[in-house]
């Protein structure tokens, strides 16, 4: 009985809490949806019948992404389980740097997305359920700058997150150190 309870306690210390895990995977899914929808609508003719619904979906998922990101950061500050970095030395430093870069890029992308939409002066609604008021005066020139930055940051997120995913797989299949299992649902 004591061994079972020690193992359970050990597993709890080596896994993230369920809320952190949900925020992590929800963020990952939203990044893929947002990047994919933007890539498709930017590479199809404007008169394609799915162009407008795809753009509206991208905007709605972007609003959801911003809400999830705010919730994720708040949870991390207020109660999310923090685990020790799995690697020491340069690898540990690199891990912390990548996580910080991802948080900063995700936050910047949300700010750029909202700013872009407001500067375009276009409708900004969440799946048609409600609209978000426009606090900025439309400015097409500035909107173009935001759009370029929004695209670059999107690619940067995909590259850094891709590296993050590859590192997790190397930990799982190469080092076999349990790092990936810390973020798998149901392991807590």
What does the pLDDT read at residue 85? Answer: 63
What does the pLDDT read at residue 10? Answer: 39
Choose among 72, 84, 95, 78: nearest CA to 24: 72
Q: Is the pLDDT of residue 13 over 50?
A: no
Choose among 3, 4, 17: nearest CA to 184: 17
Return the minimum-mean-pLDDT range out of 55-69, 70-84, 106-120, 131-145: 70-84
Token pair listed for 134: 């426009």
Any idea what DSSP says for residue 125? E
2-183 carries CATH number 3.30.460.40: no
Q: What is the mean pLDDT of residues 149-178?
A: 90
What does the pLDDT read at residue 83? Answer: 65
What does the pLDDT read at residue 101? Answer: 97
Helix (H, G, I), strand (E, B) or coil at 44: coil
Q: Is 168 in contact with 160 (CB distance < 8 Å)?
A: no
Confidence of residue 9 (pLDDT cuts 50, 70, 90): very low
- For 85-121, how does the pLDDT look when each residue is reduced to its tens digit (9 = 90+)? 666 778 778 888 999 999 999 999 999 999 999 999 9
Place of tokens 């019948």: 49
Return the percentage of the chain with pLDDT > 70, whole number. Answer: 89
Where does the chain have alpha helices with state H? 2-13, 18-42, 51-78, 89-120, 140-169
- For 109-156, how does the pLDDT look when each residue is reduced to its tens digit (9 = 90+)? 999 999 999 999 987 899 999 999 888 899 999 999 999 999 999 999
């Amino acid at each position: 009985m004591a061994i079972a309870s020690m193992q359970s306690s050990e597993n709890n210390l080596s896994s993230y809490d369920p809320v952190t895990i949900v925020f992590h995977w929800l963020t990952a899914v939203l990044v893929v949806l947002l990047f994919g929808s933007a890539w498709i609508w930017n590479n199809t003719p404007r008169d394609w019948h799915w162009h407008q619904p795809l753009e509206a979906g991208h905007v709605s998922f972007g609003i959801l992404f911003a809400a999830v990101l705010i919730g994720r950061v708040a949870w991390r500050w207020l109660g999310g389980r923090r685990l020790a970095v799995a690697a020491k030395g340069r690898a540990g430093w690199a891990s912390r740097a990548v996580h910080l870069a991802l948080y900063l890029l995700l936050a910047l992308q949300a700010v750029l997305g909202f700013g872009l939409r407001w500067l375009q002066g276009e409708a900004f609604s969440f799946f048609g359920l409600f609209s978000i008021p426009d606090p900025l005066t439309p400015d097409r020139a500035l909107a173009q700058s935001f759009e370029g930055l929004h695209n670059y940051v999107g690619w940067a997120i995909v590259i850094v997150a891709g590296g993050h995913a590859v590192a997790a797989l190397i930990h799982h299949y190469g080092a076999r150190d349990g790092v990936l299992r810390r973020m798998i649902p149901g392991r807590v």
